[in-house]
Amino acid sequence: MTTGDVDSTNSDAVPTMECRFCELPVPAGAFCGLCGAHLTPEPGDGPQWLRFRTFGASPNEGLMRPSITSSLFPHLTRRSRVPFRVGLALIVVSLIAFSFVRVPSALITVSALGLPLLFILYLAEADVFRDVPRHLLAISAVLGGGLGVGWVLLTGEMVARSYGVPMAAGLALRHLLKEGLLIPTAGMLLMVVPPVVVRLLRPARREALDGFVIGALGAVAFAGCATLSRLAPQFATGLIAHNRPIKGLVVEATLHGITVPLTAAVAGGLVGMALWFTGQKDNPHEHPGRTRAALILLSGVVLAIHAGLGVVDIVGFKQTTMLCAHLALTAVALLALRIALQLALLHEAHDPIERDEPLLCVHCEHVVPDMAFCPACGVATRASSRTSRRDRREMRPVRQLDAADGP
């Protein structure tokens, strides 16, 4: 990037074309800077209100691509996501390694704290601590963790009757269908209390991704504290479980450390997005009520999936079958999250448009007009943090004139 005086001659005027979706003149490019639609039709585009070919938070991914990092950490650029992919891989490797050496205490620790700690690192990397009031984040995390512990204390005796002390029994509620439905459903409802409480405090700024981080933070705190509280008695059973089968440890560690916290984060994040979503009221092509209804519907689907994970355990499947069912439901939940993120980013209210001002896109690193979407890669401007957007607008890229250009 170079700096210097902006050349504001007519030769620098950005060519325009009419968007075939919103029918407004926009800067020429691959995507409409106002609505994010493809400016030229391409095979497999699908409906432009959903835009299958390009994910709103990552220009190199399609909507249906099963990427955990771009779904769970939408504020990050492609380069910034690499350490988080490594972090997720380390969690998985640690769970498998501790299963093979039969160390339940280490498994419980990684299962309960792995994803929550990684999510806290995401909040720091994505400037969330600067964009969202810290007391709101604290309320969500503390309330989620407290409810998780309280839920375990309230249901502990009932659960103990069903699956005992050993970790292999995990979350399996095998005795009564009533208990199998009641406990997961009650936990599901308590898990989404934090974003509801924070929303009732009427935060000054409302962006869909702010609601996502608040909801997901409360949910992962709930899941982590619940897992740690539920399995804490096993810390006193000895360092190494010589008599435990490795297969059972791997299956249960995967459930506790991957599928349950992931679906919890997705469910809480979706509820937060639905509560924080603000539509474009001045755009006749937009229908905020429909988008909000779709977000609520997707939230309900994922909440049902999260509760269904407990129901899967009471059917009495073999461990491998149960693991496959958990992984399949988790994949569906992540897909629902990606669709919700896409809808929110494409249709929520955007920052003021300044199409005559240049802005560096942090995703494709092109200098483009300052609009709701990057005309070059199609990523939503609000897929980056408010701090990043403010800093880039205060230090806009400018063109350095070559000597051949003249004075």
What is the secondary structure of 182-246 as a DSSP string?
HHHHHHHHHHTHHHHHHHHT--S---HHHHHHHHHHHHHHHHHHHHHHHHGGGGGS-S--TTS-H
**373 φ/ψ angles, rounded to the nearest 5 degrees:** -135, 150
H-type alpha helices, 54-207: 68-72, 78-100, 104-125, 128-131, 134-163, 177-191, 193-200
Same domain, 312 and 405: no
pLDDT of 60: 86
Asked if residue 315 and residue 404 are part of one domain, the reply reads no
Q: Nearest CA to 195 among 234, 143, 240, 244?
A: 143
Residue 93 and residue 166 in one domain: yes
Contact in structure between 152 and 226 (CB atoms under 8 Å):
yes
Residues 168 and 275 both lie in one domain: yes
* 71 assigned to some structural domain: no
User: Does residue 304 share a domain with residue 229?
Assistant: yes
Per-residue pLDDT averaged across 1-27, rounded? 67
Question: Do 102 and 6 lie in a common domain?
Answer: no
In a domain, 8, yes or no: yes
Asked if the structure places residue 70 within a domain, the reply is no
Q: Is residue 218 part of a domain?
A: yes
The answer to whether residue 352 is domain-embedded is no
Same structural domain, 153 and 174: yes
- Tens digits of residue pLDDT in 57-76: 998 899 988 889 999 999 99
Identify whether residues 331 and 366 lie together within a single domain.
Answer: no
pLDDT per residue over 268-290, tens digit each?
A: 999 999 999 999 887 777 888 99
Mean pLDDT to the nearest integer, 116-139? 96
- On whether residue 180 sits in a domain, the answer given is yes
pLDDT tens digits, one per residue of 364-407: 999 999 999 999 999 999 999 999 999 999 999 886 655 445 55
Last-in-domain residue among 295, 319, 347? 347
Task: Decide if 214 is inside a domain.
Answer: yes
pLDDT of residue 158: 61
Give pLDDT, residue 8: 39
What's the pLDDT at 333? 93
Whether 387 and 243 share a structural domain: no
pLDDT at residue 266 tops 70: yes
Q: Select from 347, 377, 397 the last residue of a domain.
A: 347
Which two three-digit tokens encode residue 56?
Answer: 């709103």
Question: Tokens at residue 145, please?
Answer: 């963790």
Count of domains for the chain: 2
Query: What pLDDT shows up at residue 47?
Result: 81
Instruction: Please report the pLDDT score of residue 79 as a whole number.
Output: 87
Q: What is the pTM of this model?
A: 0.88
Of 307, 324, 347, which marks where a domain is finished?
Answer: 347
The residue segments making up the domain with residue 237 are: 76-347
